[in-house]
Structure 1
Amino acid sequence: MNAKFKIVTLIVTIVFLLTGCSKEPEQISFEGKTMGTTYHIKYIDNQNKELPSPSEVKDDIDNLLIDVNNSMSTYQRDSEISRFNQSKEVNKPFTISEDFATVFKTAVHLNKVTEGALDITVGPLVNLWGFGPDKKVNREPTQDQIAEKIKAVGIEKVKLVSKDNEPALLKKNPNVYIDLSSIAKGFGVDKLANYLEKLGVKNYLVEIGGELKAKGENIQEEPWKIAIEKPEFEQAASVQIIIPLHDLGMATSGNYRNYFEDKNGKRLSHIIDPKKLKPISHNLASVTVLADTTMKADGLATGLFVLGSDKALEIAEKEKLPVFLIIKEKGGYKTKMSSAFKKLTNL
């Protein structure tokens, strides 16, 4: 055996050994409960970096979600937001966490983008109509009841300040009540996504209650594909379109799952119009928004849904927002999408 043949044989052997020792990428999946709904996580372990075990990752994720709930859940009486809402002190700073401050600042910004349609201070009206944490029998309140509640409604009635170099909120009315349900799930998704990225995970899909964020590729080395449902009021749903989601957050808002009928049989949404001071009632079935963060997509989806199809599309074009609308008509549905959505999804 000559020297050249020995070298070639050695190289082939080394390559064989390295190939035999390498592991195939593995998809890790698990789920759980949070924020009154469920979450689902998928990520790809490419075996090129040592990651914590799936059980350790799940424990960390559950703890992160507990932190979010402890900060922003109106269903927990001892959460930050509940303690703030229970306080009746005016013009006195109430110290909050950095997470709470981040969500509040985003909500204020999106209030401007949606021309006031996203308003996290409509909580008193949400509760009055029977959609809040203290759910009662849904009923239409009187004008006097509404007039009393709106004294505390308005984003200008709460202000973010600093106290001892920490963020704090200041009430301008003792009955100000903040509800972050329109944006907190999106923030939770982003928080989990950031955690996975810090571990070195480059391919993942994170979903909480239908709001989600995807990065990289799935186990088939393709972009994560997400279905947008065509809503049906009978609680069923069919797929409207399937889009690839790459490095983006996505959120959908609609009135086809949580509603009640008034005394005339009119279907009223759980989403309150802060200008009309009552549940929205229009033919827009759902709004799906894509954004760089799920928190932003979540808040925009709610605000644009409040506005209805024409105004929502107008703002989407003005702000270059990727938006997909499903509109209910007699006999079925029609869809509209913004220019940015068409460009981003190649539709």
Structure 2
Amino acid sequence: MSEITRQIIKRPAALLLAASFLLLTLLSGCSKQPQIVSHQGPTMGTSFTVKWVSADAAVDAELPAKIDQLLVDVNNSMSTYQKDSELSRINRMPAGESVTLSAGLAEVLKKALEISHSSGGAFDVTVGPLVNLWGFGPDGRVIRAPADDEIEQLRQRVGYHYIKLSGKQLNRERKVYIDLSAIAKGYGVDKIAELLEDEGITAYLVEVGGELRARGNKPDGSHWKIAIEAPLAGERKVQRIIKVKDVGIATSGDYRNYFEENGIRFSHTIDPATGKPISHKLASVTVLATDCATADGLATAMMVLGPDLAESYAEQQGVEALLIIKSGDGFIEKMTPGFKDYLVE
């Protein structure tokens, strides 16, 4: 859950909202048609924007404070940057000691472990020590690649199978370090969506750090539109625009958060099997799933799996995905059959 300024841009940009994040007034004050209301701010070391089709003025007035508090609660539970967060306290506990998790943390960890298992460890919630070693975690940036013996030493502390979760009861068989950075933003998106629906909101677009969830249509009956960014370092360019409703959206890529040494680029996406940054040709993957936490976790797993395995894994998991793969001086696209239905030509 990054809370430091990253190279080039602060947030791990992957998706850009095609529309502005400003408060939109679609019609004049005398109109009876609904309006889109927007609330935005900082969270989890990045930013968030929530847009919803207004149903009740009193609800509109109360929602911003509720959204802000919800995101504070998620961060207080799952941040690895806050030393007093629930997860940070758990990571300091001795191996073998059992602890009862909060409902939210148990829910996210359960989903993360499911993705860890289904991906054969490509997604691993215990990869945090290696992420930190390479300078992409709370320990701060580095400017050189670590030595092989340093990597191998920390690999002994990595392994999602050392985590045993039964309901809310957690036991770590080894002193593994749990890091939910690759799924917590998606979970935050889902919790905001749940809050909106509890308040009677049936059309919205929620975004936290580039991960999104959409429901319903805009007041004019059209879908929400999302721009998928081209995986280019140092510039912002749209690769594709998709129209979405009733879906969670997440993108993972290797082109924003990295460092270079001797002309070699080292991505923030670490392969748990090698302990090193990924080195294949998959530059970006966008996943559409029923909820954003699932899309978030699966996108990271697919980035580790690489172009040869990610597409089949997406189909196995029953989600749609767009893969952008490096090819010479440009990129080629691969997508699951259903992804084409979301494209805006």
Class of the TM-score when normalised by the shorter of the 2 chains: 0.7 to 0.9
SS of the residue 2:237 aligns to: strand
- Of 319, 322, 329, 1:321 maps to 319
Give structure 2 stretches of 5+ with no counterpart: 1-28
SS of the residue 1:57 aligns to: helix
SS of the residue 1:310 aligns to: helix
Q: Counterparts of 2:338 and 2:280 in 1: how far apart (Å)?
A: 24
Q: Counterparts of 1:250 and 1:309 in 2: how far apart (Å)?
A: 19
SS of the residue 1:286 aligns to: strand
Task: Check the 8 A contact 1:322/1:344 in 2, yes or no.
Answer: no
Letter in 1 for 2:229: E
Query: Percent identity, aligned pairs only?
Result: 50
Post-superposition Cα deviations, 1:219-249, rounded to whole Å, max 9, x if no partner, equal 3221111111112112x12111111111000
Aligned to 2:170: 169
Q: Counterparts of 2:157 and 2:57 in 1: how far apart (Å)?
A: 48
Alignment of 1:1-347 (within 5 A): 23-46=32-55, 50=56, 52-87=58-93, 89-161=94-166, 167-174=168-175, 176-234=176-234, 236-262=235-261, 264-343=262-341
Q: Which segment drifts farther, 51-60 or 182-191?
A: 51-60
Aligned to 2:10: none
SS of the residue 1:243 aligns to: strand
Post-superposition Cα deviations, 1:242-270, rounded to whole Å, max 9, x if no partner, equal 111110000000011100113x3111100
Post-superposition Cα deviations, 1:153-183, rounded to whole Å, max 9, x if no partner, equal 0001111135xxxx13211112x10110100
Q: Counterparts of 1:179 and 1:156 in 2: how far apart (Å)?
A: 14
Q: Counterparts of 2:145 and 2:30 in 1: how far apart (Å)?
A: 67
Cα deviation, residue 71, structure 1: 0.5
SS of the residue 2:154 aligns to: helix
Post-superposition Cα deviations, 1:71-109, rounded to whole Å, max 9, x if no partner, equal 00111100011111122x222112211110111111111
- May I ask how many residue pairs the two structures share in their alignment? 317
> Cα gap change, 1:112/1:342 in structure 2, threshold over 3 Å: closer, same or farther?
farther
CA RMSD of aligned residues (A): 1.8
Post-superposition Cα deviations, 1:100-140, rounded to whole Å, max 9, x if no partner, equal 01111111111122221100100011111111111032321
Give structure 1 stretches of 5+ with no counterpart: 1-19
Letter in 2 for 1:126: V
SS of the residue 2:112 aligns to: helix
SS of the residue 1:153 aligns to: coil
Task: Check the 8 A contact 1:51/1:199 in 2, yes or no.
Answer: no
SS of the residue 1:217 aligns to: coil
Higher helix share: 1
Q: Which segment drifts farther, 72-81 or 153-162?
A: 153-162
Q: Counterparts of 2:197 and 2:105 in 1: how far apart (Å)?
A: 21
Post-superposition Cα deviations, 1:16-48, rounded to whole Å, max 9, x if no partner, equal xxxx998321110121110000000110114xx
Q: Counterparts of 2:315 and 2:60 in 1: how far apart (Å)?
A: 42
Q: Counterparts of 2:30 and 2:272 in 1: how far apart (Å)?
A: 61
> Cα gap change, 1:289/1:41 in structure 2, threshold over 3 Å: closer, same or farther?
same
Q: Say which structure, 1 or 2, has more relative contact order (CA 8 Å, 6+ apart).
A: 2
Letter in 2 for 1:291: A
Cα deviation, residue 149, structure 1: 1.1
Letter in 1 for 2:113: V
Q: Counterparts of 1:228 and 1:136 in 2: how far apart (Å)?
A: 27
Max Rg structure: 1
SS of the residue 2:182 aligns to: coil
Cα deviation, residue 51, structure 1: 5.1
Cα deviation, residue 320, structure 1: 3.2
Task: Check the 8 A contact 1:213/1:247 in 2, yes or no.
Answer: yes
SS of the residue 2:233 aligns to: coil
> Cα gap change, 1:310/1:65 in structure 2, threshold over 3 Å: closer, same or farther?
same
Letter in 1 for 2:88: S
Cα deviation, residue 321, structure 1: 2.2
Cα deviation, residue 344, structure 1: 5.6
Q: Counterparts of 2:169 and 2:332 in 1: how far apart (Å)?
A: 45
